C-alpha cells in the first residue's frame, strides 16, 4: 500500500537515516544549531544526528528540542486547551486555521509528542519543497505532500490520491494528520474553511460519505497569535493584489516567510484543540452530498471561530480603524501606544509602497478582522436559531 503513495508519503526510518546524514553535513544545520544550541559543540551534534536510526529518535534528540527552544524564545506564553481530549489509541484528522507556514503545525507536533510520545503527519505544500534540504527536513518530520498544481484532470487525480492517503493514514496506519483549512495562510485575518477541502476528504469514499467522515474523526483546531505572523508581509501582498488584481510572488518569498515566521516575537499564543465532530453531528447533516459538504464546512468554521482567542491587539485595531473606543475595557492606554509603535515599526519595513494610509488601514484590518468575523458568525448563528 505504501508504494501507491510513494509521491505523497513522508520518509520511513530507512530513508530518514540517509536524510539525517545529508542534513548533518549542511551549513544550514550548523547555523540552526549555533543559534539554538550554542552551549553544545557543533561537531558533537553533527555526529549525534548521523548516528540517529529512527524518525522518533530524531524528534526526541533534535526536532523536539529545537522546536521547543524556538517556541520558548519567541512566545511570552503558550495557552493550550483541549489536549486532554486526545486519546492515544485514536487517530484524528486535525483541520486548523492557518496563520504561519511552520509554527501552526509545529506547536501541535511539540504538544502531541510531549503528551503522547506520538507524532502527527503534517501537510507540506509542493510549493514549499524548494530544495533538497527542505525536502529532507520536511519528510523526516513526517510531512506528506499536497500538490494543487496542474490541469483540472491532473488536479482531480492528485486530490483523489491525497484523499486515499489520508484515509489510509487514519484508518490503517492509525496515525493522526494535520492539514490547513484552506490553501495558503490567512492573509486578511479572516479564517474560512475551503469547502473543497471537505470534498477532497470524501473523494475516496463519496458513496458512503457520512460513514467515511465518522471514521476520519475530524477535529478542528483554533490557533491565534497576539502578534500576527509576517503581518507586514501580508499587508504588502494584500495591498499589491488589490491594486493590480494579481500578486507575483518572488522565488525566495516563501522561504523568507518561513524564516521570519519562525523567529518573529509572537507575544501570547493560544491553541485550542476542539471537540472532534461527533457521529451525532455528522448524522444530523444533510443526506445530499453537496449540502452536507457545505454544512460540515460551516461546522468546522464555527468550531474554529468560537475557539479563536482574541487579544488586546485585536480590540485596539478595531477601535483605531473605526476611531472609537468601543472596546477600551479590553486594553490599557499604554497597550494602545505600544501597538501603534509596533505598527509603525512593521510598516516601515515596506519600502516599495508610498501609500502609508492604505498600508495602515490594511494592517489594522488584519488585526481587527478576527473580532469582526467572530461577531458576524455569532450574529448569523443567532439569526439561524431564532
Query: What SS3 string covers 272-308?
Result: EECCCCCHHHHHHCCCCHHHHHHHHHHHHHHHHHHCC
Question: Residue 152's CB: how many other CB atoms inside 10 A?
Answer: 6
How does pLDDT run across 197-252, given as a tens digit for each residue? Answer: 999 999 988 788 999 999 999 999 999 999 999 999 999 999 999 998 989 888 88
H or E stretch at 214: helix 209-216
User: Is the per-residue pLDDT at 301 higher than 60?
Assistant: yes
**In whole angstroms, what is the distance from residue 248 CA to residue 259 CA?**
20
Is 186 in contact with 229 (CB distance < 8 Å)?
A: no
- DSSP codes, 326-345: TTGGGS-HHHHHHHHHHHHH
Instruction: Give me the percent of the chain exceeding a pLDDT of 70.
Output: 97
Q: Of 23-37, 218-232, 306-320, which gets the smallest average pLDDT?
A: 23-37
More confident position, 27 or 251? 27
Q: How far apart are the first and last CA of the chain?
A: 50
User: Is the per-residue pLDDT at 323 higher than 50?
Assistant: yes
Q: Show the beta-strand stretches assigned E in 90-175.
A: 93-96, 121-125, 143-146
Give me the torsion for CA of 245, 182, 148, 141, rounded to 10°: 130
Q: Show the beta-strand stretches assigned E in 85-206.
A: 93-96, 121-125, 143-146, 177-180
CATH class of 77-229+264-309: alpha beta
- Per-residue 3-state assignment (H helix, E strand, C coil) for 46-63: HHHHHCCCCHHHHHHHHH
Rounded average pLDDT over 149-162: 90
Residue 328: predicted pLDDT:
97
Band (pLDDT 50/70/90 cuts) for residue 1 is: low
- β-bridge partners, 223: 271
Residue 129: predicted pLDDT:
84
Is 26 in contact with 45 (CB distance < 8 Å)?
A: no
Residue 385: predicted pLDDT:
52
Angle, helices 209-216 vs 289-306, to 10°: value is: 30
Domain ranges of the chain: 77-229+264-309, 313-384
Band (pLDDT 50/70/90 cuts) for residue 368 is: very high
Rounded average pLDDT over 271-285: 97
Grid cell digits, residue 120 = 502527527
How does pLDDT run across 49-102, given as a tens digit for each residue? Answer: 999 999 999 999 999 999 999 999 999 999 999 999 999 999 999 999 999 999
How does pLDDT run across 255-276, given as a tens digit for each residue? Answer: 899 999 999 999 999 999 999 9
Residue 309: predicted pLDDT:
97
Band (pLDDT 50/70/90 cuts) for residue 383 is: very low
Rg (CA), the chain: 21
**In whole angstroms, what is the distance from residue 110 CA to residue 49 CA?**
19
Grid cell digits, residue 201 = 476528504
Grid cell digits, residue 265 = 516575537
Question: Residue 309's CB: how many other CB atoms inside 10 A?
Answer: 18
Amino acid at each position: 500500500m505504501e508504494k501507491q503513495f510513494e509521491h505523497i508519503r513522508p520518509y520511513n526510518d530507512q530513508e530518514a537515516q540517509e536524510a539525517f546524514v545529508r542534513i548533518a553535513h549542511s551549513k544550514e544545520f550548523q547555523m540552526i544549531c549555533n543559534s539554538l544550541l550554542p552551549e553544545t559543540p557543533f561537531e558533537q551534534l553533527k555526529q549525534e544526528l548521523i548516528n540517529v536510526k529512527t524518525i522518533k529518535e530524531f524528534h526526541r534528540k533534535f526536532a523536539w528540542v529545537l522546536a521547543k527552544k524556538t517556541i520558548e524564545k519567541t512566545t511570552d506564553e503558550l495557552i493550550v486547551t483541549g489536549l486532554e481530549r486526545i486519546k492515544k489509541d485514536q487517530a484524528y484528522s486535525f483541520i486548523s486555521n492557518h496563520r504561519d507556514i511552520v509554527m501552526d503545525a509545529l506547536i501541535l507536533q511539540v504538544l502531541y509528542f510531549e503528551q503522547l510520545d506520538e507524532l502527527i503527519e503534517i501537510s507540506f505544500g509542493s510549493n514549499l519543497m524548494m530544495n533538497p534540504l527542505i525536502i529532507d527536513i520536511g519528510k523526516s518530520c513526517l510531512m506528506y505532500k499536497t500538490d494543487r498544481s496542474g490541469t483540472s484532470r491532473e488536479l482531480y487525480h492528485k486530490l483523489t490520491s491525497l484523499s486515499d492517503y489520508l484515509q489510509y493514514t487514519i484508518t490503517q496506519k492509525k496515525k493522526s494528520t494535520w492539514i490547513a483549512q484552506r490553501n495558503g495562510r490567512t492573509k486578511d485575518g479572516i479564517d474560512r474553511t475551503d469547502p473543497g477541502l471537505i470534498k477532497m476528504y470524501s473523494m475516496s469514499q463519496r458513496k458512503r460519505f457520512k460513514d467515511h467522515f465518522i471514521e476520519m474523526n475530524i477535529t478542528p483546531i483554533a490557533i491565534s497569535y497576539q502578534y500576527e505572523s509576517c503581518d507586514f508581509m501580508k499587508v504588502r501582498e494584500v495591498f499589491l493584489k488589490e491594486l493590480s488584481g494579481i500578486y507575483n510572488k518572488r522565488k525566495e518569498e516563501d522561504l523568507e516567510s518561513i524564516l521570519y515566521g519562525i523567529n518573529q516575537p509572537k507575544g501570547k499564543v493560544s491553541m485550542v484543540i476542539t471537540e472532534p465532530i461527533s457521529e451525532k453531528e455528522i448524522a444530523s447533516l444533510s443526506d445530499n452530498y453537496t449540502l452536507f459538504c457545505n454544512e460540515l464546512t460551516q461546522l468546522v468554521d464555527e468550531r474554529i471561530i468560537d475557539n479563536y482567542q482574541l487579544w488586546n491587539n485585536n480590540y485596539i485595531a478595531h477601535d483605531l480603524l473605526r476611531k472609537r473606543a468601543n472596546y477600551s475595557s479590553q486594553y490599557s492606554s499604554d497597550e494602545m501606544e505600544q501597538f501603534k509603535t509596533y505598527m509603525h515599526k512593521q510598516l516601515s519595513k515596506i519600502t516599495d509602497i508610498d501609500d502609508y494610509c492604505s498600508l495602515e488601514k490594511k494592517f489594522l484590518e488584519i488585526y481587527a478582522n478576527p473580532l469582526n468575523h467572530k461577531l458576524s458568525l455569532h450574529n448569523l448563528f443567532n439569526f439561524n436559531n431564532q
